[in-house]
Structure 1
Amino acid sequence: MKGNIVLIGGDARQIEMADYLQQKGMEVTLLGFDRWCSLRPGMKKAAGKADVDWETLDAVILPVSGIKPEQKVEAVFSENTLYVEESWFHRLKPECLIITGIRTEAADKLMTRINRSYTALMERNDTAIYNSVPTAEGVLLMAIQETEHTIHQSRTLVLGFGRTGQTIAGTFSAVGAYAKVGTSDPAETARAEAMGHDVFDLSRLNQAVSQADICINTIPSLILSENILIQIPAHTLIIDIASSPGGTDFEYAEKRGIRALQAPGLPGVTAPKTAGHILGKVILQLLKENDGKKEA
């Protein structure tokens, strides 16, 4: 498949994504990668916005972390702070895809002003399911590194049983942890019970945490609040993978001496190659679907 795409900023996942898409026939331009020197054949590194052929693009791909206030984007391979400019998007052809990782208020406002829509990859079922495996492996690695006991026979709570929670609970159970799932969603409860997990309602979270060795939160709202944390034993490890700002009162956890680790975006840290290829695969599917619409 042929196509012309630009990757604007990002982290190691974008490098692997670019490599994957280039191998699949895409012409790839990288903007905001001035400190990255290992350019693959078939890729072009833009020194600035003038080096991008905006009118010919089939997709604009923004970082997984999305567009931040003042239209800033993450760019770990850039010497300078990177901001997206509204004028870039006005030059795109109507059928060009705009793709980012997560939906943000800044992105919503920008798209409203330019009258365009965009796709948030992390909201898609396929992306979340693919990503759940490197996420679960990353959580397991953190648990092993940050505890003084084996994961085997540890009392582990998994809060939330969405696509990522399912894989985490299964992974910890597979290595012998006593994994219990906390959820108040009837569908999640039924799914967890059908998969053989012990389940408790989140209204009983204060009781459940009092016996936990490890507590893994996937719920993107304040669930491990002060009145819950006061029930947690000092040795308990909290790993919070929910989107920023997470679901834990980290300040209070620190006051109590509880180890509470915030770890959103784990695939990009522990398995950037796999994470990049996952995103590249989904982007390629979006491009194919978009081509089909143009031909219809």
Structure 2
Amino acid sequence: MLTDCQVAVIGGDARQLEVIRKLSQLDANLILIGFDQLDHGFTGASKTEITEVNFSRLDFIILPVNATGPHGEIDTIFSNKKIQLTVQQLQQTPQHCCVFSGITNDYLDGIIKESGRKHIQLFERDDVAIYNSIPTAEGTIMMVIQNTDTTIHQSTTAILGFGRVGVSVARAFAALGAKVKVGARRPEHLARISEMGLTPFHLDQLEKEMTTTDVCINTIPSLILTSKVISKLPPHTLIIDLASKPGGTDFKYAEKRGIKALLAPGLPGIVAPKTAGQILGKVLAQLMLDERRQRDER
């Protein structure tokens, strides 16, 4: 249980509601910031303004999945008020205070370093990424159906990258009858792609493989679909880029060529916020319990 733990949940989207629900079940004392327009309440939770928070009592701070903006601003869909996290606020917290977010940025890295607090990026964890790959795959299927006039079945679908998301997306499209080919660089990935009954190709051969592609799904967070590569795509090809912003696609060149290219990071929070929130809540609860136990053992 998280009885007597002081947890500040600052901003976020519908996923945070499941996080709040899970932590409430564990008897945490929750301070909700940026939730003034939320209709229903949670046991053990109180809504407040960030200026009224006693940071010196906080054990944990939960930020939105996308952390903060470049100047510390925090997004929330449950309030119109401006919220900002500063280094001064973090410095007021106890030394053991731990900060959670999905990803990070230069601003957050800076204030975390200056304050000396612990920061855990949830999306860097294998368990979160693997769980999240399920709604990501479903959302990708939805986007392909919405933006093409042919079936996924028998389509030639190229998936770039064979990480945690790439594996799930490749498996899902193969199950729907697509002719799936997967581009990777590591020999063990190419071997596993072949073992799964899919067609592997080395990313050095990307330009050649693009000439017969109906749908291209990128999971690599660096520019891989360059103008040179896109020039080899058939005009009807659909590009879905699942990599974090700014993605791995030359979107301007794709538009110039008349090829539809869609950047789609954060699909779990869009297509299945309840499930995505439950994933985060489960992992956060375990991490907090571990942090509390380690603190008690010191």
| Common fold by TM > 0.5 | yes
The CA deviation at 1:288 is 1.5
What do residues 99-133 of structure 1 show as CA deviations (whole Å, max 9, x unaligned)?
Answer: 11102111111112112231100000111011010
Percent identity of the aligned residues? 45
What do residues 123-179 of structure 1 show as CA deviations (whole Å, max 9, x unaligned)?
Answer: 001110110101111101111111111111111011000011000000001111111
What do residues 21-57 of structure 1 show as CA deviations (whole Å, max 9, x unaligned)?
Answer: 212322222111223223233321113431x232222
1:31 aligns with 2:33: yes
Aligned ranges 1:236-251 → 2 under 5 Å: 236-251=237-252
8 Å Cα contact 1:31/1:49 also seen in 2: no
Aligned ranges 1:98-247 → 2 under 5 Å: 98-247=99-248
Letter in 2 for 1:29: I
Aligned ranges 1:263-278 → 2 under 5 Å: 263-278=264-279
Task: Tell me the TM-score normalised to structure 2 length.
Answer: 0.95
8 Å Cα contact 2:33/2:49 also seen in 1: yes
In structure 2, how many angstroms separate the alpha carbons of the residues matched to 1:111 and 1:40? 29
In structure 1, how many angstroms separate the alpha carbons of the residues matched to 2:7 and 2:192? 39
Task: Tell me the TM-score normalised to structure 1 length.
Answer: 0.95
1:255 aligns with 2:256: yes
The 3 A distance-change label for structure 1 pair 191 and 26 is: farther
In structure 2, how many angstroms separate the alpha carbons of the residues matched to 1:41 and 1:24? 10
In structure 2, how many angstroms separate the alpha carbons of the residues matched to 1:67 and 1:190? 39
The alignment's C-alpha RMSD in Å is: 1.4
Segments of 5+ residues of structure 1 without an aligned counterpart are none
In structure 2, how many angstroms separate the alpha carbons of the residues matched to 1:20 and 1:292? 18
In the other structure, the counterpart of 1:288 is 289
What do residues 223-280 of structure 1 show as CA deviations (whole Å, max 9, x unaligned)?
Answer: 1111011111111111001000000111111111111111000000000000011011
Q: Secondary structure at the match of 1:72?
A: coil
8 Å Cα contact 2:218/2:243 also seen in 1: yes
From 6, 9, 12, give the equivalent of 2:11: 9
Aligned ranges 1:42-121 → 2 under 5 Å: 42-50=44-52, 52-121=53-122
Q: Name the stretch that deviates more: 35-44 or 135-144.
A: 35-44
The CA deviation at 1:88 is 1.7
8 Å Cα contact 2:22/2:285 also seen in 1: no
In structure 1, how many angstroms separate the alpha carbons of the residues matched to 2:38 and 2:254? 38
The CA deviation at 1:200 is 0.4
The 3 A distance-change label for structure 1 pair 280 and 4 is: same
8 Å Cα contact 1:6/1:59 also seen in 2: yes
In structure 2, how many angstroms separate the alpha carbons of the residues matched to 1:187 and 1:94? 43
8 Å Cα contact 2:97/2:117 also seen in 1: no
Q: Secondary structure at the match of 1:288?
A: helix
Q: Name the stretch that deviates more: 53-62 or 119-128.
A: 53-62
8 Å Cα contact 1:75/1:81 also seen in 2: no
In structure 2, how many angstroms separate the alpha carbons of the residues matched to 1:282 and 1:137? 21
The CA deviation at 1:188 is 2.0
